[in-house]
């Protein structure tokens, strides 16, 4: 690009997707984060404005996922870090929708576009993961990868990281509800056991494999019965007071299944058509109104494109 500034939108993501703990995720069309990147003459990387965070995020480049990811990329390429950053948070922090991942992805994607680096997503990935690590305390790509690549993503392994895009049914819809409670990823990981029984391990592996098969063959019935998590959800569901009530109502409304997105508190339900997705949204709204919990609801197909430059 020949301009001195660029605006990038990076989408929210649903991660884990039932049995895919740390290895599966998909991108949504909304919500997402927006980064405006502009060259400056100070020779410093600066965050000049943050909106939508209610004052929670740091303006220090060493303590914000967007600039940590950017700094990692600039250092590797030995490029000057003379940029001003505006971060517009358009989703909740600690929402379970990949908020920190979206900021990190938007930052490196914006640098790539503004400087005309023509780097591949594979080359941007590790830098975005470094930004994400600051927020979550560990390297896991099930938000960063679908946000960056778009679509439905499987991470086969991490040494080295192996990203596998998966086809998914065009008719697959996601209804996600973000209740106004905060669950920090780092804290949600601490409550998980360090060891699991071989029986649970077998169940999780079977469900993960079946979910992939269901996606690739557009077998909605198989997708429905495969989105079962025995590793994280039994523990993390206790952090969401209305988990059972919401899930039961959603399933009776026609959802294929209903799970926690990432560490929560966002919960998502999959369906096979937009009409059911809308009905699920209404049922979610009813439950959370009864619980007196403020919330936002998003309906989306799988976003196949990932981040994009906006005017």
Closest residue by Cα to residue 41 from 80, 73, 86: 80
**How is residue 60 annotated by DSSP?**
-
CA atoms 68, 73, 75, 76: torsion sign: positive
Active-site hit among 185, 253, 266, 276: 185
Provide the token pair at 155. 């991470």
Active-site hit among 13, 34, 65, 132: 132
How many Å separate Cα 260 from the centre of its chain?
12
Closest residue by Cα to residue 106 from 156, 50, 161: 50
Under 8 Å CB-to-CB from 51, ≥6 apart: which residues?
Answer: 86, 87, 88, 89
Task: Annotate 178-199 with b (16+ C-beta within 10 A) or e (fewer).
Answer: bbebebebeebbeeeeeeeeee
Closest residue by Cα to residue 302 from 154, 177, 165, 152: 152
Q: Which residues pair with 117 in a beta bridge?
A: none
Q: Which residues pair with 295 in a beta bridge?
A: 179
For residue 291, indicate whether it is catalytic. no
For residue 182, indicate whether it is catalytic. no
Residues marked as catalytic: 132, 185
């Amino acid at each position: 690009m020949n301009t001195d500034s660029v605006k990038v939108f990076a989408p929210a993501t649903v991660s884990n997707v039932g049995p895919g703990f740390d290895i599966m995720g998909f991108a949504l069309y909304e919500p997402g984060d927006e980064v405006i990147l502009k060259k400056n003459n100070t020779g410093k990387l600066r965050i000049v404005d943050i909106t939508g965070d209610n004052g929670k995020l740091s303006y220090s480049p060493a303590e914000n996922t967007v600039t940590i990811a950017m700094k990692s990329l600039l250092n590797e390429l030995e490029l000057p870090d003379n940029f001003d950053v505006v971060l517009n948070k358009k989703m909740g922090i600690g929402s379970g929708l990949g908020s920190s991942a979206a900021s990190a992805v938007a930052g490196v994607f914006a640098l790539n576009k503004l400087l005309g680096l023509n780097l591949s997503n594979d080359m941007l990935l590790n830098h975005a993961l470094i930004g994400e690590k600051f927020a979550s305390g560990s390297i896991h790509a099930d938000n960063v990868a679908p946000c960056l690549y778009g679509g439905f993503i499987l991470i086969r392994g991490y040494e080295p990281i192996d990203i596998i895009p998966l086809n998914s049914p065009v008719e697959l819809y996601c209804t996600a509800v973000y209740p106004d409670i905060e669950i920090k990823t780092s804290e949600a990981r601490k409550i998980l056991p360090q060891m699991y029984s071989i029986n649970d391990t077998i169940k999780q592996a079977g469900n993960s494999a079946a979910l992939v098969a269901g996606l690739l063959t557009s077998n909605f019935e198989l997708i429905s019965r495969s989105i079962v998590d025995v590793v994280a959800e039994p523990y993390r569901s206790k952090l969401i007071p209305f988990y059972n009530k919401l899930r039961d109502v959603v399933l009776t409304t026609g959802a294929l299944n209903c799970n926690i997105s990432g560490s929560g508190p966002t919960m998502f339900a999959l369906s096979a058509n937009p009409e059911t997705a809308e009905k699920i949204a209404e049922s979610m709204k009813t439950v959370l109104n009864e619980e007196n919990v403020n919330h936002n609801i998003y309906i989306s197909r799988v976003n196949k494109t990932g981040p994009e430059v906006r005017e």
